Amino acid sequence: MEAANRQLKQGEKGIRLSLIAYLLLTALKLTIGYATGSEALSADGFNNATDIVASIAVLIGLRISQKPPDRDHRYGHSRAETVAALIASLIIFGVGVQVFFQSIAKFRSPSLASPELLAAWIALVGAAVMYGVYRYNARLARQIGSSAVRAVAQDNRSDALVSVGAFVGIVGAQFGLPWLDPAAALVVAVVIVKTAWDIFAETTHALTDGFDDERLQRIRQTIRETPGVGRTIDIRARTHGNSVFVDVTIGVDPELSVSDSHAITEQVERRLLDVHRIANVLIHIEPYEAAEDGMHPEAKSE
């Protein structure tokens, strides 16, 4: 639990970085957008303002997930992180839909005004900043296995693409091609909605105790190869935030003492921690003959 909380503390750094970037870019884009008459840059600024809300929601989720187990939450509060990622996906989806309908409206009545090029450079700087934040958070998410930080990283990438779209639209207006703005926005909207869907699908899969079968089979193989384990009778796994919980029933020699059987379970726990970084394992032991007589369907292939 302490190791998981340390990882979540690291995750907070990435969320705070995103939050600071959004606050600064929102102020800069809205100010310059108004001063230069750029609707595209102003819209980009309002998009970043929406992301402030998403970042705060994820930060709150990470804080809640670090609370220790209590009488009502025996497994802890880790799933608050996944719920935060789910909320972030809904906010990202809303932004994508908004960008989509705005681009359709611009196709119908494209603006003929040409904003100052300063707006284009601000949009490009914003894209570079958010891409840098995305790279940082994507790397951090891989290191700590955080779904919430991964969701924020995907949002960072979407924001970088929105800024690129704004840059293309502003530059297009300078060359008398106002249709470039809504065309770029349409592409960006599709990317944002796809990002939101990917995050939504991943988080709902985790919240309904879904678990990747290939990963589960790798865990099963590690247990099966542990000395003293005669058979892996049953195995289940689920995710709670950045933690994985495994429940497994193994068959051992019935002649072993309780102490020797317990030593085998400790070896299984150590191997799962070393190979798969899984620290939450519940192991049930059955005699090997009983395992063969009443074999679980999953074990018949072993």
Query: Residue 81: which H helix or E strand, with range?
Result: helix 79-108
Return all residues near 51 (Cβ < 8 A) that are at least 6 apart: 18, 22, 91, 95, 155, 159
Q: What are the Cα distances from residue 65, in Å, to 39, 55, 256, 278?
A: 39, 15, 40, 18
Strand ranges across the sheet with 231-240? 231-240, 243-252, 280-287
pLDDT of residue 298: 44
Does the reported pTM lie above 0.75? no
Same domain, 197 and 217: no
* CA Rg value for the chain: 25
Same domain, 192 and 234: no
| Domain end residue (candidates: 148, 179, 207) | 207
Q: What's the CA dihedral at 190, 192, 196, 201 to 10 degrees?
A: 40
Same domain, 14 and 82: yes
pLDDT of residue 2: 59
pLDDT of residue 171: 86
Same domain, 18 and 158: yes
pLDDT of residue 275: 93
* Amino acid residing at 200: F
Per-residue pLDDT of the chain (302 residues; tens, 9 = 90+): 555 667 777 888 889 999 999 999 999 999 998 888 777 788 788 888 888 888 888 888 888 888 888 888 888 888 888 888 888 888 888 888 887 887 788 777 766 556 678 889 999 999 999 999 999 999 998 888 787 888 889 889 988 988 988 888 888 877 877 777 677 777 777 878 888 898 899 889 989 999 999 999 999 999 999 999 988 999 999 988 778 899 999 999 999 999 999 999 999 999 999 999 898 899 999 997 644 544 444 444 44
Same domain, 173 and 260: no
For residue 281, the enclosing domain spans 213-301
Q: Is 301 helix (H, G, I), strand (E, B) or coil?
A: helix
Distance (Å, rounded) from C-alpha 159 to C-alpha 127?
A: 7
